[in-house]
Amino acid sequence: MKPNLYRCIFQVHRWTGLTIGMVILMMALTGVVNLFRPQLEPVVNRDLLTVPTCSERVPLDVLGETARAAHTGGRLDYIKLSAGEPGAARMPAARVRFDDPQFDVYMNPCTGAVIDERARYGGVLGTIEQTHILRFSEEKWVRSITGVCAIIFGIVLIGGGFYMWWPRRGGYGRALKLDARLEGRARSMNRHRIAGVYGSLVLIALILSGLPLVFEWYRNGLYTLTGSSLPQKPPKSAPADRDSPRVSMEAFWQKVQALEPNPAHALLKYPGEGPNAPLEAYMVARGASHENARSLLFLDAYNGKVLRYTPYEKASPGFKLYFWMISFHTGSVGGWPMKLILLFGTLMVPVLAYTGIRSNLRRRKSPAAAAAAVPLMPVGVKRIAFEAADIKSFELVSATGALLPAFTPGSHINVSIEDGLQRQYSLCNDPNERHRYLIAVKRVADSHGGSRAMHELVEEGDLLSISAPRNHFALHPAAGHHVLVAGGIGITPLLCMARHLLSIGASFELHYFTRSIEQTAFHAALSAPEFVPHVSFHCAIERGRLRETLHPLLSRRATDAHLYLCGPCGFMDLVEEMAAAAWPAGTVHVEHFAANPLALAGERKPFEVTLARSGGTFTVPVSKSIVNVLAERGVCVTTSCEQGVCGTCLTGVLEGKPDHRDAFLSPQERSAGAKMLVCVSRASTPHLVLDL
Ligand code: FES
């Protein structure tokens, strides 16, 4: 997997989880209550929902009229009757629903007395149901929010999570188990993954079964998928004249009973608006496979003739699937075992939220990375100048007009070029200047994006984000003389040093090696009279004569002299090698601006890396860096150059011996083995323990 793709999915997954995931968390928590509502409701609202069992009921028309007298406003919508359990002391109350706004009047079907009335989503459990479906408005888009969030949850969080979890090199057993040895963030991530893997199957089923309740297109899709025709429009009643009397609700109920004797539930709708509106009812038989196994009945509202009757068994597959999904979603399919499975899956959502947020808060960076993550500040590009072939300088000024942070000779800044792309550039102006920073960028053919973007995308007047200056290449304070040796674009930090040394009157010499005058950046500036006694240009030196040219500079060392090198790797290696005899350790200071290709190309072996603070042991194969492997496991190490040049990913080594492949650490730091650049360096021992 490409690390960038992984990182992209990881970031989308994380931010979706922290936003949409919170809506899903609300839906899951309320969904758990809804799941057990049929069991909770008779306990919480016993006296509202049940009455002492009786054998005789009052006629439905009396119930309806009494409810209408008790409830002001609204339109009678339906009466719902439910049968009690045989032999039970109490039976369900009748519910008379008013529409616009929806209101339920609960009635004793035996006495016709009103028990109480309540808004459609009234009471604690009603409010929880309302919250679960966000039914705070009848606006279609508001009602769609839960469905949209569920779809995003399914695609981004479950799909993306699976993509990141998938063990591409086998090891499914480990990927499916809780690892008790892990600590810290690795532990949270392990729990997050396991909860996701096991919970997602149930959650996907809940999403798929919940969508028909929200989206009509989805509902219609179920009919199409099963080869069923879409539900027909209700048939029409045929009134003899406009004032014909309608069939009473009690007569309606008798018709229902004749077709479906003693149903477990029956809902009888009052005729709707208009003279042709039929009487409509649905019934669920006792012992039906689920509580929405509905038979549908339409009667002529005037003569009581059956216009259409569809027993559940004869309903279309699409109809059956739709109502089965509703029952599945509400936990009324499969009895207690299925209820417990749904409970498990739903409870995985708070576990995912907790472990996800916790691992996010526990994102730890190495000390160097933390230091590297300095805040960025906006600067304007005041001027861009061509300094030499393929080299442009960029003058940056504060976007707010304030003075820029002070810097010392040899400092560099991080420049944020495009989304996620940062590069380090040395400052080459005089450190006394606080009103501007000057950097120079050479466009390289094999650019990883940085120099190309700087040359092609950045224009005068643009805003860039930069870090405050940092310095890994400082002038030695005790040096009595400074020898600056630059190769090509390596002039940039040395130019800054030269300007500073000139301004303080220090002793220094600058040797600047380039392939030609055309490729010599800042030639005019360095040819200024004040620089002439200090600067030597070495242009177009033949390869065979380079040693000869360098020899007088490096074969002897004045007391208190320090040597500063910056340039291409081959050039730097040669200078360091030639200086080794006369310049003791600590007197040679180097700054690389590109990776060392020889070091990067060295033999690669797989090894294991253990994270001491976050926990977890991972194998680093030959094809990947430590940073890549950690990113795949959700452990984020801040990087910038990813070439072992900038030092951003500097990480402490607690055990094992690093195989340094960077161009950043000094020879002393390398042999100490206490730190390494995890973007490129590997291990000489089979196992490393990192301070991460
Ligand atoms: Fe620059 Fe590792 S990211 S050295």
Q: Determine the average pLDDT of the residues in 262-279.
A: 91
Which ligand 1 atom lies nearest to the CA of residue 424? Answer: 1
> Ligand 1 pocket: which of 470, 645, 676, 682 to mutate (most atoms <8 Å of CB)?
645
Report the separation in Å between the CA atom of 314 and the middle of ligand 1, taken as the mean of its atom positions.
69
pLDDT of residue 671: 85
The predicted model gives 77-101 an average pLDDT of 91
Q: How far, in Å, from the CA of 163 to the mean position of ligand 1? A: 27
Residue in 643, 661, 665 to alter for ligand 1 test, most ligand atoms within 8 A of Cβ? 643
Q: What does the DSSP assignment read for 141-177?
A: HHHHHHHHHHHHIIIIIIIHHHHHH--BTB-HHHHTS
Q: Which residue has the higher pLDDT, 418 or 566?
A: 566
- Using most ligand atoms within 8 A of CB, pick from 679, 682, 692 the residue to mutate for ligand 1: 679
Question: What atom in ligand 1 is closest to the CA of residue 680?
Answer: 2
Separation of 677 CA from ligand 1 center, angstroms? 6
Ligand 1 nearest-atom number relative to CA 647: 4
Pick the residue with more confidence: 138 or 461? Answer: 461
Return mean pLDDT, the chain.
Answer: 88
**What pLDDT band is residue 154 in, cutting at 50, 70 and 90?**
very high
Please give the pLDDT value at position 172: 65
% of the chain exceeding 70 in pLDDT: 92
Q: Given this model, what pLDDT does residue 365 score?
A: 45
The per-residue pLDDT for 318 is 96
Q: Which range, of 385-399, 433-447, 495-509, averages the lowest pLDDT?
A: 433-447
Give me ligand 1 centre to Cα 514, in Å: 27
Taking the centre of ligand 1 as the mean of its atom positions, its distance from the CA of residue 425, in whole angstroms, is 14
Most confident region among 84-93, 95-104, 138-147, 425-434 by mean pLDDT: 425-434
What per-residue confidence (pLDDT) applies to 495?
97
pLDDT tier, 86 (very low <50, low <70, confident <90, very high otherwise): confident
* Overall size of the chain counted in residues: 692
pLDDT band at 448 (very low <50, low <70, confident <90, very high): low
**Position 419 confidence tier, pLDDT thresholds 50, 70, 90:** low
Residues 547-581 pLDDT 10s: 999 999 999 999 999 999 999 888 988 999 999 99
Ligand 1 atom at shortest distance from the alpha carbon of 640: 3
Q: Which helix (H) or strand (E) holds 280?
A: strand 279-284
pLDDT at 522 over 90: yes
Q: Which helix (H) or strand (E) holds 105?
A: strand 103-107
pLDDT score at 136: 81
Buried b (16+ CB within 10 A) or exposed e, 169-197: eeeeeeeeeebeebebbbbbbbbbbbbbb
- pLDDT given at position 449: 64
Q: Ligand 1 mean position to 665 CA, how many Å?
A: 11
In the prediction, which pLDDT does 238 show?
85
What pLDDT score does 343 carry? 95
In this predicted structure, the answer to whether residue 371 has a pLDDT above a threshold of 50 is no
| Ligand 1 mutation target, pool 414, 630, 646, most atoms within 8 A of CB | 646
- What are the extents of the domains in the chain? 3-166, 232-315, 370-467, 481-593, 601-690
Looking at the predicted structure, is the pLDDT value of residue 169 above 60? Answer: no
**Which pLDDT score is estimated for 59?**
94
pLDDT in tens, 291-316: 999 999 999 999 899 999 999 999 99
pLDDT for the residue 368: 41
Domain 601-690: what homologous superfamily?
Beta-grasp domain (3.10.20.30)
Which of helix, strand or coil describes residue 196?
helix
- The pLDDT value given to residue 11: 83
- Of residues 236 and 242, more confidence is placed in 236
On the question of pLDDT at 235 being above 90, the answer is: yes
d(CA 26, CA 21): 9
pLDDT given for residue 185 in this prediction: 59
Which residues, including other chains, have CB under 8 Å from residue 91's CB and lie 6 or more apart?
50, 51, 52, 53, 54, 82, 83, 84, 109
**Topology alike, domains 370-467 and 601-690:** no
Is the torsion defined by CA of 354, 360, 366, 371 positive or negative? negative
Residue type, 682: R
Would you say 493 and 409 are in contact if contact means Cβ atoms under 8 Å apart? yes
What is the mean pLDDT of the segment spanning 323-348?
A: 94
pLDDT surpassing 90 at residue 64: yes
Residues enclosing ligand 1, CB less than 6 A? 639-642, 644-649, 662, 664, 677, 679
* Neighbour tally for 337: CB within 10 Å: 8
**Confidence grade of residue 372 (pLDDT, cut at 50, 70, 90):** very low
pLDDT category at 6 given cuts 50, 70, 90 is low
Candidate from 2-6, 103-107, 412-416 with smallest mean pLDDT: 2-6
In the reported structure, the alpha carbon of residue 580 is separated from the centroid of ligand 1 by a whole-number distance in angstroms of 26
pLDDT at 373 over 50: no
Please report the atom of ligand 1 found closest to the CA of residue 641.
Answer: 1
- How confident is the model at residue 376, as a pLDDT? 75
Atom index in ligand 1 nearest the CA of residue 679 equals: 2
Average pLDDT over residues 325-350: 94
Give domain 370-467's CATH superfamily: Translation factors (2.40.30.10)
Ligand 1 centroid from CA 258, angstroms:
81
Ligand 1 mean position, distance from CA 416 (Å): 15
Ligand 1 centroid to residue 651 C-alpha, Å = 10
Q: Name residues whose C-beta falls within 8 Å of residue 168's C-beta, 6 or more positions apart in sequence.
A: 1
Mean pLDDT, residues 626-645 = 81
- pLDDT (0 to 100) of residue 542: 85
In this predicted structure, the answer to whether residue 607 has a pLDDT above a threshold of 80 is yes
Which pLDDT does position 528 carry in this prediction?
A: 95
Categorise residue 177: left if φ over 0, alpha if ψ from -120 to 50, beta otherwise: beta
Out of 42-46, 129-133, 429-433, 645-649, pick the least confident. 645-649
pLDDT at residue 423 above 90?
A: no
* Mean pLDDT within 236-251: 83
Q: Which of 425, 428, 442, 452 is nearest to 390 (CA)?
A: 442
CA of 489 to the centre of ligand 1 (A): 20
Residue 374 has pLDDT above 60, yes or no: no
Q: 679 alpha carbon to ligand 1 midpoint, in Å?
A: 6
Q: Please indicate whether residue 347 or residue 164 has the higher confidence score (pLDDT).
A: 347
pLDDT at 364 over 60: no
Mutation test residue for ligand 1: of 648, 665, 666, 675, the one with most atoms within 8 Å of CB: 648
What is the percent of the chain where pLDDT is above 90?
57
Q: How confident is the model at residue 183 (pLDDT cuts 50, 70, 90)?
A: low
Q: Per mean pLDDT, which of 35-39, 85-89, 375-379 is the most reliable?
A: 35-39
Nearest atom within ligand 1 for CA of residue 664: 4
CA-closest residue to ligand 1 atom 4: 644
Q: What is the pLDDT of residue 388?
A: 93
Architecture of domain 481-593: 3-Layer(aba) Sandwich (3.40)
Please give the torsion angle defined by the CA atoms of residues 50, 52, 58 and 62, in that order, rounded to the nearest 10 degrees.
-40
